Structure 1
């Protein structure tokens, strides 16, 4: 059994274990432990726990090795609650967890997104007078990385020498990834350089994390340089490498570079995946290349790739930014056909598209459909719909919508207030516009020049020059600097003598 387990023949190992009961022999603790370990290698965590639970029936008491095998099963399956229960049970049965027990439990917490518990277990290792090994540090750093706790991850990494250990590739990778999650590209680069200085050889995971980190930090040139440097490191870029590099070009608004990377994937014997397409489409969106975005979206099924919600959202957003409201609406309406439920991002992009197309009725209908999709409108939903009503000069509907924001626990921002003020001003509802202007400080918002200008501009149409002058004076009292629009608007409102 042990030989089969070592050779990763977990099926055969379990078969041998089951054969024991058919003989005159009884399985012992070692047999159970080996069988449980085989389950771990085969990803059979439920079977492993069933075997673990069967031990008392055979009058056998699990030892530390048995617990560790079960803990490892739970860790690989991301069953952190079960791992924690097993770990807590060990002292109750007179067993003292060893460093492997801690490592498996920390890894389970890492996969389960429980960084606080992982950090507690990591801190407990020293308190229990155990010597943490490099796997303990890797699991703790990786857990903190997934929990977006990059500063704590760095602290754990920097404590490795204090434990008499040397950082390896896995701890470096986890630390670089922690910096990447925080868009701390300088930190990622620092640890990459430290890795090279320590003569630790980076692998493709290292390079991918570094490229992604630079991309998130807005360093697209550095990201693409690092991508090109992969082959110089005697490595081959994989799909993740290309996707990270394309994403960095998208963030840098360089759609041509993103397209070049995408078309270069087949030359590296790689097939673009859904993330590749979404990254390319997103770069086209930023570059106002809606035709390319739509072409790539429609090319996905031919490449045997099913568009996901991100693909839909980025394509809809690309059409929205280019004023293609009919196509945007059409694509939005096909999402249920593709068995994809729109999210609030899908709704917002489509509402904004209708707003840009001057379709305030459609925008308002889409807004009212958001709750029907079991979604909650956010401040962007309100903002885009309010702008569409402003353009349609629907001040009553705009006020009604603005007034409903608290019911959705959405706090108006300066754009919401500004649009509502502008809509009222255009409808010559000056008392309401002034009321909204006065209400902004209550929401911890300071009116800007644009808010004041909206009222002054409307006064020129209504020949209300006294109000225009009063609002202009209010700009000065608020210690704001009037701009050219302010001056032109107030001059237009003042009657010629």
Structure 2
């Protein structure tokens, strides 16, 4: 707690670390508008109970001065009531959170003060007597007080003290979250009022200080009692009282009650101050009602333009309204940010509030736009991020690269990869220049897109993506080429696979086993068996070890060429290298036999597979049954179908139809009841 000396003045506060009055010295008063020095004193009054200096610009009083060695600053705002400044000085305090926009013009507290109390003789020029009150020490001695009796023990020997001392101590207790000693001091003052016949007692400033202390210490339960005490004492609340009460109701989350203070203020004949309106806006902020706050401000602005409000000469309303406009902008921004971090999807409300701000003529800064983009982290937020990005590009000359990277990531998370690519293109065309993070994010999106193309066999899409990467200066890596190769292989696009493989080599990317496997598969499906052999031999030559997939493709190639001796050799080579043929390997052989109308050979490999303790699956049975049925062997196909059913396998309708059709064509007798009902779907469940 910093020790200060404070004197309340008509247009502000005289504040200093040391305040002494002597004769024949100059008094300096600083005005925030003119910042000129004045030496005008209207009235000086020093009593045993309180001391006031009233300053104006039209009267000069000689003989009263301030010690020039003291560091004194008087902040004066012309045409403002006592304690009516919208910029808190001395007793005013600022709120660090969003509420700091709400001026503490209504505050009348200082923490611990070093107060100099001068008797009237020092003014009149008579014999000067001084008594110094250390408010910090005094407040410290009362910190544990709970009742008026506890206060009396400390203060009964202190004599009469200025009421400013009590205000300062009460405010200080509030700052220290000690509401009980603050209330005890007020109770003691009420007792002293009855004992002194009204010479000393709580006044409006004391009660306002107590309400302020209650607000600071979050002890809101006694607010109604304090208002009742004021009424009993015959003290009429002022606008400061109502402003403080509004904040207290807001902190109690009695939002409708807080907003109702506005009507009460008008009912009592007071004109709401800028702080009143700021506090009302803050209530809407606490309610997270951005639309309500905006509508309140728009209505307020209309009244101001029509001169229905703002006629009070005590305030510079033009300046205050600029502050209110800035404040509503910050409130809308914070409410939207809160909406974006809620678990509930409130993107529609955010977009509506943005449009409402446009209609109201509010223009959030680029920084506020960007901070809202940072709050967009979920998939459904992409639409808000995209809208904010569009606004920044249209209204501001620059945008942060980190924000663009965040948007690229967000669009990818929402599976809006093309939108992410558009942002990257804007970076290339309009700036700022993309960095490694931008590159990696876009490439990761291409990975996802190419992987999807690979899984679905959408080879043309994959080729487009590769071309797009090259157009934008993104060098495709092996995994990108491989994804397109696999897509071509799945689509049986042999020529496209060959071109992609060549392009990969020409771009300096070394083919991997995946590259060779996809190319071998495409060649096998195109029945380009000789080319497949050349690719296989080249792969071995460059030192790439074949895996199970590559061996399986070559087994299918040798089967297609009917080189079964080489096929046996290949299977032995696999085993010698620790790669055991799987059900997929045998399925590839049986499938190749079926395509080349070698159903008998396929049936032999079926038995060989079972001899190797490899259980056939649905694909094995379906391919073999269709091959036997199409090769005029309906009875054998029928028996295999029954066996598959007995083994618990669920076949599709294709082998069922093939057995029935073959039996009808070749006059075989089969029991359809044993086959059961025809499967409904072409694909297996």
TM-score, normalised via structure 2 length: 0.37
Indicate the structure with greater strand content. Answer: 2
The structure with more helix, counted as a fraction of residues: 1
Larger Rg: 2
**TM norm structure 1:** 0.50
